[in-house]
Structure formats: C-alpha cells, structure tokens
Structure 1
Amino acid sequence: MWLNNILETIGNTPLIKLNKITKDIPATVLAKVDYFNPGNSIKDRMAIKMIEVAEKEGKLKPGGTIIECTSGNTGMGLALAACVKGYKCIFTTTDKQSKEKMDILKAVGAEVIVCPTNVEPDDPRSYYSIARRLAKEIPNSFHCNQYDNLANRLAHYESTGPEIWEQTEGKITHLVCTAGTGGTVTGTAMYLKEKNPNIQVWAIDVYGSLLTKFFNTGEVDMNEVHPYVSEGFGEDFVPDNYDMSVIDRFEQVTDKDGAVMARRIAKEEGLFCGYSAGSCLQGLMQLKDKLKKDDLVVCIFHDHGSRYVGKIYNDQWMMERGFLDVKSFKDIVNGRKNSQKLVSIQPTNTVAEAVEMMKKYDIEHIPVFDNGNIAGSISENGLFQKVFSNPDIKNAKIQEVIEHAFPIVDFNTPVEKLGTLINKENGAVLSKDEAGNYHIVTKYDVINALGK
C-alpha cells in the first residue's frame, strides 16, 4: 500500500536500546530516534501541526507564505509541508547554525536570511525580530512562531507522548529531553504525566541559556545569557510553550561535552545523531547516580548528524574550540598496544628486502639510516610506482630508490601540528624519546588519535 505524500511518513519513529555508552548505568536506556522522520528531525511533527492548525483557523490561506525563525530543523519540516501544500517559505536563522542546515533549506525551495547570533531577542537585527517584521510586510503570510505557538507542544502531546507510552508498554520511568522552544519536552511530558504522574521528566539545557535558572527560581536573569555553540536548544527568553509544572529537573551541559558525546553515540552506538542528542545523553550521564535497576529511561534524539558534518563531526572545528583533547606524538607512541622497536633499513639493503619488511610488520613507511644517521626514507607507494615501471628494480639497493627523509619533531608535538606535516608527499614524522630512541608516527596514527 502506498502513501499519498511525504507528510504521511511523519511519526512512528523507533525506540532503540543503548548498550555501550550506558553499560555502567543500572537502568535500561532507550533512544527515541526521531531522525527517522522525513525531514530528519523531530521538528517535522510540530511543523505540520502548526500548519494544520493555522489552516483550520484561517491564518494560512492557499498560495500564502510561511515565515519562521528557525535553527534549521523546524524550517525543514515546514518546507516539506510547503512543497506538498503549495506554500512559499521564508526562514530567518542565526549565523551560528551549520552551513549544512542552510543549504538543505535552500534545496527544498526556502529563502533563508542569516542574522547575527549575539544580539538581544528584541534587537531589530535578531532572527526573531526580522521574522516578525517580514510577517507584517508580506501580504498573505503566516508567522508560525514555534516558540509561542501552542500547536508546537500539542503535536508532541498527540504523537510523541503516545508513541513512547505504547512502545514502552507504559513502563517508562524517566523522560530526558533537551529544552529549546519547550514544545517537545512539555507536550510529551504532559501526555506521559497524565498516564503516570510519577514519571520523572529531566530537561537538558546548555550553559549560556537562562532556562535552568528560570526553572529553579522563576527569575528571568539576562546575566545568565552568554554565547554558546550548541544548536537547537537553550534559550535567551522563556517561550510560551513551557509548562514548568510537568518538568521535574533542569540539568546544564557544556558545549564541549555535548559535542564529544554526539561523536561517541555515532562511534559506539551506530546512531549518527545531532548536537542535541549528544547533550541529551550527556545530561543523563551526569544524573546517572539517580537511576535504579528497574528504571526505564527514554532519551529524545532529535535530529540527524548530517546537519553537523562541518561542525561536531569535523576534527578541525572541534580542535579550534578545544573540544578534542590535545594529544601529542608522545601520547600516540605510549598508547600503542604493541610498542615494537622502530623498523628501519640500511641504504645497502635491497628493494626486495624492504618489501618483505613492509609485509612482515604491516607498515607502509620505513626510515633509512646510514651508520645511525637519518639518510632518507622509503614508502610502499613510492616503491610500487618504481616496481610497476621497472620490475627488475626489486634487486636494486635502497640507496638507488631512496626518498626524502621524514621530518623530525619534538616528542611532545601536538597531534594537530603533526597533521600539518603529514601529507600526500610525506607520510610520516619521526621523533626521539627521552632515552634517545627514534619513533615514527604515520597519518593513520594521527587519524586514530583524533577519532578517540
């Protein structure tokens, strides 16, 4: 049986057990993986609900223009609905959002206006203010305003909450969700609390957002607000979608911890998720001592990692912000499982002997030493090219095919510096340890170190 359009695929996303990262937690931890929605995020649910309610109330009419300020995911859901229903879209977003999000919105026909992040919400340059202004200026337009539009939380009350209740057979004890517009955490919590008031709802926030202090004190303290790079959650005001009475706790997570955890989820659980998923699970890990054996925890994983390949899944971006622990040449050497002696060769050895050494030790690069001094190097790729053009060269001496010497660096040189020295022409670097022994690091060692 076929579906009538892409919007009919929204919802009914899987609940997947986490196994490795949460192995030391006594409770069972499940992820509600909402990147299975057609727009790759949970925001598809509320996007279509806001449009349906606006149509029903006569606020959105045929041929109209949908206007919204979005971090990217809500815009995607709105754009899909607009494609099917025949609306135009104009979205405002902030300059901290990933380029991938903006490009995706443009790909589905939306106009995207990028606004500065570090301005007050009421500043005329903010993405909130520009969206409001456009809604007033453009005829037959509708400003969705996901922050204060209660259709946002209604979507999760009607879909996300019931799905989780049914998928856990009513056994859920904890809901963990990042807090942004408030729609997901509030709407889902409202439904679940109606079913079982004892269910604990933990909202995960980011440092730089004022939501946590507002929850704890009822005070809107702008001194709490400062720039952060986490995307899709945290706020510098309190949206109308919040009903704090259905939330039991707020927990804040750093930009770094959320990003690092997202990478762990991809690598250890096979779930390629976005920034908020990493922060959601990190928040749970910070609260794991509050869990018991029979608890059943559901974490909301909002969106897909493809939106963040230029950010949290980009080593350079992570290193520039200090999110990857700086490793050195020394750390790489000490971290090897088999700390074998450096394999080297003499200029008087033959090419055939070098090839056998490469096979025996499963290596691609060998430094050449002449009477204890570095004379050059040989590489698997270099030898292959020479043997391919002249098969008889296998009997030649190394001194006849020798390549340039590998660079020599300090034993404490950081990994990111090594990455600038290792390239297509130069596959390795050398260094001496405290005892005067040489060691080698290749591009694969660097890649492995950055991936940990």
Structure 2
Amino acid sequence: MGADAGSGGPVYDSVLDAVGATPLVQLHRVVPAGGAPVWVKTEWANPGGSVKDRAALNMVLDAERSGALRPGGTIVEGTSGNTGIGLAMVAAARGYRAVFVVPDRTTTEKIALLRAYGAEVVPTPGLVPREDPRHVQRLAARIAADTDGGWLADQYANPANPAAHATGTGPEIWAQTGGRITHLVAGAGTGGTLTGAGSHLRSLGVQVVAADPESSRYGGGDGSPYYVEAVGHYLHPLTDSDDWPAVYDPAVAHRTERVGDGESLRTLRRLAREEGLLVGGSAGLAVAAALRVSAEAGPNGLVVAVLPDSGRIYLSKYFDDDWLTTLGFLDAGPGAAGGGDPLVRDVLEPDAPGLTVAPATATVAELRELLEPCDPLATVPVVAPRRTGETTWSAPDVLGTVSVGALAGLSPGDRIGAHAGPPPVTVGHGEYRAAADARLDAAGVAPHDPVLVLVDGRAVALRAREWLSRPGPR
C-alpha cells in the first residue's frame, strides 16, 4: 500500500495502489452565466487512464478472493477499450495473461494501448446482433470457456463493477465537495459508475442525472449507432431482445439528459481549447449534460460530472478535423483543402423535411406505394429497420441504395434488402465542395453514383455525385 512521502506526494508499493483518489477540477469558461458551479471528476488521472481502472482492479481482486481467477490464469473480456486497458494493466502488474475482444470501431489508440500492456487483441464486428457468435460478449465468453484457467471479467454482470464506485468514486466525491454536491452527472456504458456512485450519493440527498447519447436505448432512443464511444446502449435491429447490463440500475438516476453526438463532440473540443482539459467523447457528453443541469440549478447548486477518460486515445477521431468534417460534425476551416470554394450544403438544394428511406425488410409492393408518384431515376437509401419511429438515420444504418426504376422488374413480394446496391459514399455538409469532389474522384465514384450527405453523422440527403459539380454561391 501507499506510504506518505511528505510534501512530495504518496509513494506506492504497486501501480495498482494509485487507482482512485482522482482530483476534482472546477470549470470556468464553458459554464453558463448564473449557473451552478461545475466540477469534473478527472478519471483519466487513474494510472491506466480511465474510470474503468476502478472496476478492473475490484473485479480482479474479487475473483482472486473467490478462487475464480487463479495464479497463472488468463483474464478475458469483451470491451470497447477502457475496461480492457484497466484489466491489461492489472494483469501485467499481477502476472496474468490477458485476451480482449474489441469491436472494430474501437480507436487505434486503444488497441495500441492494449497491446502495449502485452494483451492479445481479438477484433470482431461491432454492429452485429447479440445472438451472433461474433458479438463482442459472446465471443469473449467462448474464448474464456475454451481457455485453460480462463476467467471472464464480465463487466456487464459482475457486481464488483458498481461496488468499486459505491465504495470509492461516490464517497470520494462527497468528501471532496465537503458534502456540498447537489447534482451528479454521469454517463452509463455498463452502468457501473452511475449505479455505484449514484446510489451512494443519492442516499445522501444528491440528484443523480444520467447523460445518454440521443439514440441510446437507455434514454428512450431508437438504439441506432452513434459516434460517442464507451457510453449508452446500442441495439442492433436484428437482436431478439433488448437486454440491458445486469449491473445497471436505471432507477438510481432521477432523470436522463439525452445529448446528440454533435453537442457532445463540440463540447469536448471546447473543453480542450477553453479549459485546457483534453477528454474523450463520453466526457464531452457528461459535460454537455452538466452544463444544462448547471443552468437549471442556479448559483446555489454544485454539479459534479464524471469524466471517464482522456482525449489522448481519441486523437484520430474527435480531434481530427478531417474526420469530423467528412462526417458533418464540423465545417472545414479556411486553411483546409478547397478553401474559398462553396461548402457542400451551399450547392445542395433544400429538401422536404425528413429523408425518404426504404427499410430493408419492406417488400417491393410496399415501397412502390410509399414512393408513388416518384421520379423513376431517383435512388432511395435502404436502411436497417428499427422497432421505434425515427426521423434521422445514422450513416452505419444505411445499408445500401435501390433505384426506383429498378422496382419495375421485381416481384411485388421481394424484400428490398435483397436488391440493394452497396452502401453509398458519404460527404459532410460542411466540407468544401472541391475537397469532397477530389476525395470522391480518388475513390472512383462515378458521376451518377449515389452520395449520402451527413449532418452530425446522420443522413440528410442522397444525391447523384454530379451535383457536386454544379455552380454554387461564392
């Protein structure tokens, strides 16, 4: 355990003793005028770089005590990155082998960190039904069962996950604020942080607010894909049942703040440039929600938001201007390629509200009825069907396209999905037209090929590639 080294700070026997006791930092420039102070729990100060270090260590210690994990064993987990990184750090410090199954949408930085700790990484498709054997959790469970000495951490059902926050994170925040905290804001991935820290602080009279991506099922969204990693609940349209993590208790939160990807990502960039805090997407989500809570609570409140990780593992995404611009989250800057040319949205004629789409499960007869009358040369996006009504579609939801004219030769009972072409290429509405045109040229996109236009990662229009060459305002 740690020993006090006087004014120089603590000295630890092991890196694992440094888990927890993370600082609170007050925000200044992004907080709304007249709002409650907002303090943030800087969980990237944990030695593995995220809030998941707490759960990882507690789960391993609990498994050692119970005998589920024995000396020389192998730690196995399905993870989007941070829990795996925490477990990899613990495995290295305590002499275990580690194998992690990660979805293919995980950042390259996270995968590199897992391998840096000596862990084996098994990539798998991220957007598959829960029943698919390639699903992150199913594949991890199978590897653990097939590995001699394998132990599945199972952060989604392991009670040691929320327990780490009920005995650590929650009491720390109460002590650090001197009991003055009025609101806790935290996102839910597995739900361990919100459930554990939230239950402790709620018992002391604190209002608990869950921050959730707008399309996440936790807050009542349609379950479609979103771009903020490691938080919320995605539901594949072909999954039979909407099963939530066993460790997540939704009754802990008094309410949920649903935040769109664009607001979350622009907030995290403001934190870097206005507060000097380089944080990840789920932290941007939590602060965006906390700023709303601050405005409501007024100057007598004290809002604490849990910031799960650092932006250093998202440099190739959330802090990459090109990545954000091509997905429609950001307008191209004056120094970007094509500067001075119109933006894509400048040459895109206005659409009627909503984007006409064809669910992949719809029949040809149903689509004909939906589209009549319609230009036979028109092309329609084919999308993954969902259980609830939606008004916008995430780019990964667009499975392909179908030409209206091609319907004439098909049987009325045929499913549209069977006749869809490949997914269309995408452009962001804030790209310079010339830069987008050059990018599509390099990709070999023909003039009549369909192009999907994105705003905040969601489809707003489908056009033939040739419209990019039309004159626009200058």
Asked if TM exceeds 0.5, the reply is yes
Partner of 1:134: 143
The answer on whether the counterparts of 1:178 and 1:185 sit within 8 Å (CA) in structure 2 is yes
Residue 249 (structure 2) pairs with residue 243 (structure 1): yes
Matched length:
329
Partner of 1:116: 125
How far 1:139 sits from its partner (Å)? 1.3
Paired with 2:261 and 2:31, the residues of 1 have a C-alpha distance of 20
Which of 165, 168, 176 in structure 1 is aligned with 2:174? Answer: 165
Partner of 2:231: 233
Residue 325 (structure 2) pairs with residue 319 (structure 1): yes
Partner of 1:269: 275
- Cα deviation code 1:152-174 (max 9, x no counterpart): 00000111011100000001000
The answer on whether the counterparts of 2:38 and 2:291 sit within 8 Å (CA) in structure 1 is no
Tell me the TM-score normalised to structure 2 length: 0.66
Q: Counterpart amino acid of 1:311?
A: K
Which of 71, 80, 84 in structure 1 is aligned with 2:80? Answer: 71
The answer on whether the counterparts of 1:25 and 1:291 sit within 8 Å (CA) in structure 2 is no
- SS in structure 1 at match of 2:304: strand
The answer on whether the counterparts of 2:101 and 2:123 sit within 8 Å (CA) in structure 1 is yes
Paired with 1:25 and 1:145, the residues of 2 have a C-alpha distance of 43
Residue 103 (structure 2) pairs with residue 83 (structure 1): no
The answer on whether the counterparts of 1:66 and 1:142 sit within 8 Å (CA) in structure 2 is yes
The answer on whether the counterparts of 2:186 and 2:211 sit within 8 Å (CA) in structure 1 is yes
- SS in structure 1 at match of 2:201: helix
Residue 302 (structure 2) pairs with residue 300 (structure 1): no
Partner of 2:106: 97
Q: Counterpart amino acid of 2:231?
A: F
Paired with 1:324 and 1:417, the residues of 2 have a C-alpha distance of 16
Runs of 4+ aligned structure 1 residues displaced above 2 Å come to 284-290, 325-329, 413-421
- SS in structure 1 at match of 2:219: helix
How far 1:207 sits from its partner (Å)? 2.6
Q: Counterpart amino acid of 2:258?
A: Q
Paired with 2:229 and 2:104, the residues of 1 have a C-alpha distance of 11
Paired with 1:34 and 1:225, the residues of 2 have a C-alpha distance of 27
Which of 204, 216, 223 in structure 1 is aligned with 2:211? Answer: 204
Residue 279 (structure 2) pairs with residue 281 (structure 1): no
Partner of 2:159: 150
The answer on whether the counterparts of 1:190 and 1:246 sit within 8 Å (CA) in structure 2 is yes
Q: Counterpart amino acid of 1:234?
A: G
The answer on whether the counterparts of 1:328 and 1:415 sit within 8 Å (CA) in structure 2 is no
Paired with 2:222 and 2:436, the residues of 1 have a C-alpha distance of 38
Tell me which moved more, 319-328 or 271-280: 319-328
Give 1 or 2: higher helix fraction: 1
- SS in structure 1 at match of 2:167: helix
CA RMSD of aligned residues (A): 2.1
The answer on whether the counterparts of 1:122 and 1:128 sit within 8 Å (CA) in structure 2 is no
- Cα deviation code 1:400-446 (max 9, x no counterpart): xxxxxxxxxxxxx965857999xxxxxxxxxxxxxxxxxxxxxxxxx
Paired with 2:260 and 2:200, the residues of 1 have a C-alpha distance of 29
The answer on whether the counterparts of 1:327 and 1:414 sit within 8 Å (CA) in structure 2 is no
Tell me the TM-score normalised to structure 1 length: 0.70
Q: Counterpart amino acid of 1:262?
A: L
- Cα deviation code 1:18-57 (max 9, x no counterpart): 0000042520110001111101101101100000001111
Which of 58, 61, 72 in structure 2 is aligned with 1:52? Answer: 61
How far 1:245 sits from its partner (Å)? 2.4
Paired with 1:284 and 1:25, the residues of 2 have a C-alpha distance of 14
